[in-house]
Structure 1
Amino acid sequence: MEAILLTGHGGFEQLEYRTDVPVPTPRPDEVLIRVAAAGVNNTDINTRTAWYSKSVAVGTNSGGADGFATAEGGDASWSGTPMAFPRIQGADACGRIVAVGDNVEASRIGERVLVRNMLRSYVNYRPYKCWTFGSECDGGFAQFAVAPSRETYAVRCDWSDAELASIPCAYSTAENMLHRAGVGEETVVVTGASGGVGSAAVQLARRRGARVIAIASAAKAQEILALGAEQVIDRNADLLQELGHGSVDVVLDIVGGAGWPPLMDILRRGGRYAVAGAIAGPIAEIDLRTLYLKDLTLFGCTFQDDAVFENLVSYIETGAIRPVVAKTYPLKDIVAAQKDFLAKTHVGKLVLLPSQETIG
């Protein structure tokens, strides 16, 4: 089959397009999916470049093309354990079930499905334990992929394959932040609002009745307002000047970096901060007096309760959300897609489309 193999940590040269990769065989309790579309995500690039290593202290883009020379492979995956190579990445996968393993009803063949990107089956549903599809096991950057039947969800909607493939990683990350922080009808700030997770967070927060203030480049303001934001603040603006101390209830952050401290200042007393990324840099300075004197709550958001992905499927099927697909690419053009992803000139998701022809 056609697939992209990640052969090691580093630059784009570690992505190898092949047409002779064996089609995987589903094991008991697994299904085989013919992949129709697979989204591009930060986690794919972060894993390739070894950005997750604690030896890296800068933003993700600085090593996006060439990797990080200082990174140590022993802690370079999101889970802090060494990666196994070669690996087929791709945290997002939309497609149709074409075969099933033992213990799975054959009636599932033909279902149009999404794979939950944070897989719990392989770790026996232990709290705070999970595998990422495309990291601890092979993922969606291929014509075919296997996944646990229990975590492969039939989805009924009229969306395109590219739209459906935009959901798993970005939208579950955003929904998880909202779920952890218990967001309701209150004022929410979303950083990095033009990207996949950020644009998802805008829509999902608005769905909960929140008043959304988005932070992004001014050039993308109209597109973000169309997603449901009430206000867009330029990412280079002075947040305290724009919003004032204690003006918001919740901050949803995927940016981090040097712009982090004001996020604590704009939170009201008893406010909540949820983080699921640090594209501008993982190192931030906090005044602990701000944290305890304002009774703030901070949430680190990776592990997802089962309800998170189940919620997303229901939102899709009821028409409560709709992703923005900025561009699609043939699977073989993954390097071009990742270069565009790193350039961040788009709003929404970039999606890879594996060939639907039989190869090999």
Structure 2
Amino acid sequence: MKPHQTMKAVVTIEQGGLDKLVYQDMPVPELAAGEVLIKVLAAGVNNTEINTRMGWYSGNVNTSTNEMAKQSDFNALSDGGWSHETPFPLIQGTDCCGIVVEAANSTDKPLIGQRVLVRPCMRTNGFDDFNHIWMASDFDGAFAEYVKVPAREVFPVQTQWSDVELASIPCAFGTAENMLHRVDVRHSDTVLVMGASGGVGSAAIQLAKRRGARVFAVASKSNHQSLQTLGVDNVIDRNADLLHTLGENSVDVVIDNVAGENFGQQLTILKRGGRLVTSGAIAGPMVSIDLRKLYLKDISLIGTTAWDEPVFPNIVRYIEKNEIRPLVAKTFPLAQIAQAQTEFLQRQHFGKFVLIP
């Protein structure tokens, strides 16, 4: 049974700046049928939580995450959530490592006492339907002492990793694994990872190397040494001219969650029949491409948000077999979330920030 009726949580009270993050007492969630209650041990920090708080997903926003964060005034954007209006006030927190302390259904009681990860992307109509909901975007997440989730989205993990290390995994590695799964990265592929020092980028490197692919990584010079420890075959400065550095028709796959003004150049770098998969646009959502390169080279351009069925079980298996490793840059107490997000946007870190309730 849960020990208290109230808990500490960070509530994003409405769309806007850091002042909308309020650390306060909240009722411990009451379970509905099929749900379990998790005591949160650690919760990772992600770009998407900042985007959701600001309303960056709105079609009326054309700037990067960092540019939008500089605003002093935030307009109300009814389409600022992933697929619709965000249900503020909202407890965010997409990454959750915790212990199951309560289960609504007797069939889920064996989960009680187990340390688990939560699959934050939930395909509510099954995996043949792309409709989905996300913890911390569509319903309350892990920036709290307790969170409730459907029992089917809970995955026990048998590992010596710490709580903090486990909390660094779900969103970044799940997103990266989904991208590699969709474009079917193979050992014969040469893969270019844009934004390689970020959570998704560094995860994509590990997952591509696990598949035996040759990996090129684009990042600032300050992160080159760290990336080389992940086995990258070639690290390229983010200010370099990629076409000059790599040449035309040089890679099979591009993994991108950066976008921005240089996005179109990737079509020239890709080989005929190449694949470009994207899951974000931290450098800006408005891009320019030459459609002739897309169709004349038979390039596949793939967007990914909804995770496919094998993705999260794969991640848990990789953890348990020590086939990937966590990258934690820094931890913060949950109450210091504003400081964590401020430092996150400075993008001087390598690895994940993790909050401790």
State the TM-score, normalized to the length of structure 2: 0.96
Q: Tell me if structure 2 keeps the 8 A contact 1:194–1:348.
A: yes
Equivalent residue in structure 2 for 1:45, among 47, 50, 66: 50
Opposite residue 42 of structure 1, the aligned amino acid is N
Structure 2 counterpart SS, 1:21: strand
Structure 1 counterpart SS, 2:283: coil
Give 1:327's aligned residue. Answer: 330
Q: Tell me if structure 2 keeps the 8 A contact 1:38–1:141.
A: yes
Q: Tell me if structure 2 keeps the 8 A contact 1:177–1:274.
A: yes
Give 2:77's aligned residue. Answer: 73
Opposite residue 76 of structure 1, the aligned amino acid is G
Q: How far does residue 68 in structure 1 lie from its aligned partner after superposition?
A: 6.7
Q: Is 1:64 aligned to 2:66, yes or no? A: no
Q: Tell me if structure 2 keeps the 8 A contact 1:75–1:82.
A: yes
Opposite residue 8 of structure 1, the aligned amino acid is E
Q: How far does residue 168 in structure 1 lie from its aligned partner after superposition?
A: 0.8
Q: How far does residue 124 in structure 1 lie from its aligned partner after superposition?
A: 5.5
Q: Tell me if structure 2 keeps the 8 A contact 1:256–1:277.
A: yes
Cα deviations across residues 133-165 of structure 1 (Å, max 9, x unaligned)?
111110000000001111100011000111101
Equivalent residue in structure 1 for 2:12, among 6, 11, 20: 6
Structure 2 counterpart SS, 1:193: coil
| CA distance in 2 between partners of 1:47 and 1:68 (Å) | 16
Give 1:306's aligned residue. Answer: 309
Equivalent residue in structure 2 for 1:154, among 156, 168, 171: 156
Give 1:171's aligned residue. Answer: 173
Q: Is 1:30 aligned to 2:38, yes or no? A: no
Task: Tell me the matched-pair count.
Answer: 350
4+ residue runs over 2 A deviation:
64-69, 102-105, 123-126
| CA distance in 2 between partners of 1:15 and 1:4 (Å) | 6
| CA distance in 2 between partners of 1:129 and 1:245 (Å) | 37
Q: How far does residue 102 in structure 1 lie from its aligned partner after superposition?
A: 2.4
Opposite residue 330 of structure 2, the aligned amino acid is K
Structure 2 counterpart SS, 1:62: helix
Unpaired stretches in structure 2, ≥5 consecutive residues: 1-6
Give 1:277's aligned residue. Answer: 280
Q: How far does residue 219 in structure 1 lie from its aligned partner after superposition?
A: 1.1
Structure 1 counterpart SS, 2:329: strand
Unpaired stretches in structure 1, ≥5 consecutive residues: 355-360
Give 2:266's aligned residue. Answer: 263
Q: Is 1:348 aligned to 2:354, yes or no? A: no
Give 1:358's aligned residue. Answer: none
State the TM-score, normalized to the length of structure 1: 0.95
Q: How far does residue 259 in structure 1 lie from its aligned partner after superposition?
A: 1.5
Q: Is 1:226 aligned to 2:229, yes or no? A: yes
Structure 1 counterpart SS, 2:149: strand
Give 1:106's aligned residue. Answer: 109
Opposite residue 5 of structure 1, the aligned amino acid is V
Give 2:3's aligned residue. Answer: none
Cα deviations across residues 102-142 of structure 1 (Å, max 9, x unaligned)?
25432211010000010124x46561111111111100000
Q: Is 1:130 aligned to 2:132, yes or no? A: yes
Q: Tell me if structure 1 keeps the 8 A contact 2:195–2:257.
A: yes
Cα deviations across residues 215-270 of structure 1 (Å, max 9, x unaligned)?
00011101011112111100010001100000000000010001112111100000
* Aligned ranges 1:236-255 → 2 under 5 Å: 236-255=239-258
Moved more, 145-154 or 60-69: 60-69
